Amino acid sequence: MKFSLEWLKDYLETDASVAEISAKLNAIGIEVEGIEDPADKLAGFRVAEVLTAAPHPDADKLQVLTVSTGEGDPLTVVCGAPNARAGMKGVLGLPGAVVPANGMQLRKSAIRGVESNGMMCSVRELELGDAHEGIIELPADAPVGADFAAWHGASPVFDVAITPNRPDCMGVMGIARDLAAAGVGTFKPAQVAQIAGEGAIAMPIAIAPDADCSAWYGRSIAGVSNGPSPEWMQRRLLAAGQRPISALVDCTNYLMLATGRPAHVYDLARLTGSMVARRAREGEAVEALNEKTYTLDDSITVIADDAGVHDIAGIMGGAHSSVQDDTTDVLLEIAYFDPEAIGVSGRKLGLATDARTRFERGVDPAFLDDGLAILTDLIVQTCGGRPSEVTRVGQPPVEPKVIGFDPALTAKLGGVEVPEAEQRRILQSLDFGVSADWQVTCPPRRHDIEGPADLVEEVVRIHGLDMVESVALPRAEGVARPTATPAQKLERRLRRAAAARGLNEAVTWSFLPVPAAEHFADGEAALWLLDNPISEDMKAMRPSLIPGLLAAAKRNADRGADTARLFEIGRRYLRRPDGASDERLTLAVVLAGARVQRGWAQGKAQAFDAYDAKAEAEALLAEAGAPVANLMVMGDAGDQFHPGQSGTLRLGPKTVLARFGALHPATLAAFDSDGPVMAVELFLDAIPARRGKGGFARPAYSPPALQSVTRDFAFLVPRDLPAGDLLRAVRGADKATIVDARVFDVFAGQGVPEGRKSVAVEVTLQPGEASFKDADLKAISDAVVAAAAKLGAELRG
């Protein structure tokens, strides 16, 4: 939010400097993001008087002016403005000055053979407005030679960040109140004019029972004359980043920025029948002031007449009833809308406006009458007209909240000692009522105050956040003990392992679009949907980490990346049928693009396949301490995976530790991704904890005293038998001596019976106290063959 020092002083009587005000704003929790002084941009521009104006000798549309700056000889200036004439006063940019609008540095130059010593400037060139038909014409009493910025009243502009819990500071007046409470001057409330209305409102107004609007105050003004707003108003709006439009529109914007109270003005001639705040009918449409048409549903509150919708309530007005240059009669609207409903409607429509920001955070429900009176006075002062009496429909929620407060809480919760008298003064200066027994009555505009802790925050913040002493937490003597939990240690170890395998860590949102979340929702667990999401694309809590990584891989591919190796560790969120939350720690990996780039040795680029995904899953599970040698490879990885190129790793039939493989073409289509894409999901919470106190600590490596022995076996097995099952059986044949087994060849074809395949396995045997004898090796071999035979395998001859 931006505002000028000039504007602030309308509500704050102070002699404090810009630096002092900035420091105090930061101290009371209103962060100053920047300060801009327009006078810096207007350096080198002077008030000047045109003494003579004559046609340029070599250009039809140019004039040669002699200009006085009040000192020295008059200067010659070449000017193309049609309104340049002798006797007028304007703004002269001297050589060396920089034109704010385009950054051009002025210098002496010859224009068609005539030397020009600067430039007479227009409003647009100095960024004081949009007018550019001619140069600025200053009043006759403007002092020639004066610095234009100083004469014009250029005022420093503050840019502050207002936190969502402080809607009362979304206007200059609210900020002035806080500064005054902190001792920077005296607060001056807005002057509320007493408007004597004449007759009834020109158009009846009403509130439908289903509307999210508790109060609507309005009046009509007849005989207004619309046009440009006063220069002082335009100057303040420009400082706040608002573009002046017309007097009627500028008055409503001025009220909103000054007091935090949005309002709307309608052209009465464009309305029909009566006006009502109601819910939109399904499919109703309205063209808004941004020239876009919005289709509404029956959850959105609107302001409509007998002919149709004219305003998306609390968010944006409609183009049809907007005021124009020829508007003569207007209807004013100041209402109180339900904050939550405004937020929901704004997100549905994708509309972010200044009015919505204030309404959804909560405006002052007690400021309707005063706001309407101030707006009426602004319009009458700038546009004339005859206001009607005020019509009030509904009742705003102005019932004050009363909180019992103990001043001792300030030291206990805030960490700073503040005398009780000072605490009472601070609260009263912020418009809180404080009784003798510390019953605190909150002003209705302070929606953020819910209990005693909030009152402590108010006291501490106005007393000065910089007054809270930094105190270190107590620390026990000696070497600090480790504080990381086993889960945290596991996450750190897996991050290092994944990075060492060439994977890049990504951190994605915990929220997803509903369709994406539904695509990855499995089983009986339902999704968690947010009532107040950041946006509609972040409405569902993620049931899996894969969608976020898949979207990240697509963004990288769209920007030319030919490969993506991403991983993330985080939680997925599910809702059980009984309503309980089910949060699970998972690690997800996405492999997309080329695994091996094209080259002279290997030829074409090679894409990732399901075996790459399986290798990542097994390696990371091993790092996590899972008994990888005992895992079973089974199907049913989920509908999101390709059924022929995916699987699960299980510890027993029911305990799923991971799923891996190629994503289904339907999944890739849903995420607009090009395939193939491999994915891995490890369910870290399902990994059984190691027994004993050692946790995951590994014993020191001690090489065996005797050399290992390898033996090869070639088995004929059923064609559909997974090789992993055979390996598991072989390893279990003699757990004391068989330390490893791996498949080194698979063959099916000539010489192999129909329905069978040949699987060759290399078995590594490790002797213990003594070397193997022939009888020992034969006994182990017989045990291996017997174990394989239980799976229908036979030793190949």
**Mean pLDDT by groups of 10 residues along the chain of 797 residues:** 94 94 93 88 91 92 93 92 93 93 91 92 85 87 89 87 93 96 94 89 94 96 94 90 93 96 95 95 94 94 94 94 95 96 92 94 95 96 95 94 95 93 96 96 94 96 88 82 87 95 95 91 77 85 94 93 94 83 91 88 86 95 89 88 93 92 94 92 88 56 87 94 89 91 92 92 93 93 94 88
Separation of alpha carbons 781 and 741, rounded Å = 13
Residue with structure tokens 């339900």?
Answer: 338
Closest Cα partner for 270 from 311, 324, 321, 331?
321
Amino acid letter, 412: K
Q: Is 448 annotated as a binding residue?
A: yes
Count the neighbouring beta carbons within 10 Å of the beta carbon of residue 725.
16
Judge contact between 351 and 241, C-beta under 8 A.
Answer: no
Instruction: Tell me what pLDDT residue 699 has.
Output: 66
Say which amino acid occupies 641. Answer: F
pLDDT at 697: 52
Other CB atoms within a 10 A radius of the CB of residue 60 amount to 6
Of 303, 265, 308, 260, which is closest to residue 283 (Cα–Cα)?
308
| Cα atoms found within 13 Å of the Cα of residue 236, Cβ hemisphere only | 21
Cβ contact 646:635 at 8 Å: yes
Q: What is the pTM of this model?
A: 0.67
Cis upstream peptide for 156 (omega within 30°): no
Type of residue found at 730: V
Pairwise CA distance, residues 322 & 288, whole Å = 9
Return the amino acid letter for 53.
A
Of 512, 548, 546, which Cα lies nearest the Cα of 529?
A: 512
Any alpha helices (H) in 99-209, and if so which ranges?
A: 148-152, 172-181
Rounded to whole angstroms, the Cα distance separating 96 from 76 reads 16
Q: What's the chain's Rg over C-alpha atoms?
A: 38
Q: DSSP 3-state assignment of 426?
A: helix
Q: How far apart are CA 688 and CA 436, in angstroms?
A: 62
Non-local (6+) Cβ contacts of 362 within 8 A are: 167, 339, 445, 447
Q: According to the annotation, is 685 in a ligand binding site?
A: no
Is 457 one of the annotated binding-site residues? Answer: yes
CA 727 – CA 704 distance, rounded (Å)? 23
Tell me, what's the pLDDT at 379? 96
Contact residues for 292 (Cβ-Cβ < 8 A; gap 6+): none
In contact, 763 and 713? CB cutoff 8 Å:
yes
Strands 563-575 and 504-505 come out as parallel
Give 309's Cβ-side CA count (13 Å radius): 27
State the CB neighbour count (10 A cutoff) for residue 139. Answer: 7
Asked if 693 contacts 566 with a C-beta cutoff of 8 angstroms, the reply is no
CA gap 89, 85 in Å, rounded = 9
Diameter over CA atoms, the chain: 123
Distance, in Å, from the CA atom of 324 to the CA atom of 308, rounded to the nearest integer, reads: 20
Q: Which residues contact 322 (CB under 8 A, 6 or more apart)?
A: 266, 267, 289
∠ at Cα 101 (99, 107), nearest 5°? 20
Instruction: Report residue 356 as tokens.
Output: 């919505």
**Can you give the pLDDT at residue 107?**
92
Contact 269/220 with Cβ under 8 angstroms? no
pLDDT the model gives residue 725? 87
SS3 792: coil
794 is in an annotated binding site: no
Structure-token pair, residue 283? 């499919």
Residue 529 is given by DSSP the state B
d(CA 79, CA 56): 9
pLDDT tens digits, one per residue of 458-476 = 999 999 888 888 888 888 7
Bridging pattern class, strands 275-279 and 205-207: parallel
Contact criterion met (CB below 8 Å) for 101 and 127 = yes
What single-letter DSSP state applies at residue 772? P
How far apart, in Å, are the Cα atoms of 785 and each of 309, 380, 728, 781? 83, 102, 13, 6
Using DSSP bridges, classify how beta strands 641-650 and 656-663 pair: parallel, antiparallel or unpaired. Answer: antiparallel
Give CA–CA dist 498/553, Å, rounded.
Answer: 17
The pLDDT value recorded for residue 334 is 97
- CA-nearest of 717, 640, 644 to 679 is 640
- In degrees, rounded to 5, the angle at the alpha carbon of residue 308 between the alpha carbons of residues 307 and 314 is 140
The residue among 265, 278, 329, 332 whose CA lies nearest residue 308 is 278
CB 700 within 8 A of CB 689: no
State residue 523's pLDDT score: 59
Closest CA to 394 of 365, 423, 364: 365
Amino acid (1-letter code) at residue 774: D
Domains in the chain (CATH in brackets) are 2-37+156-187 (3.30.56.10), 40-152 (2.40.50.140), 205-394 (3.50.40.10), 401-465 (3.30.56.10), 486-686 (3.30.930.10), 709-795 (3.30.70.380)
Predicted local distance difference test score (pLDDT) of residue 691: 62
pLDDT of residue 525: 61
Q: Work out whether strand 632-634 and strand 641-650 pair parallel, antiparallel, or are unpaired.
A: antiparallel
Cβ atoms of residues 676 and 730 within 8 Å: no
User: Who's near 496: CB < 8 A, 6+ residues apart?
Assistant: none
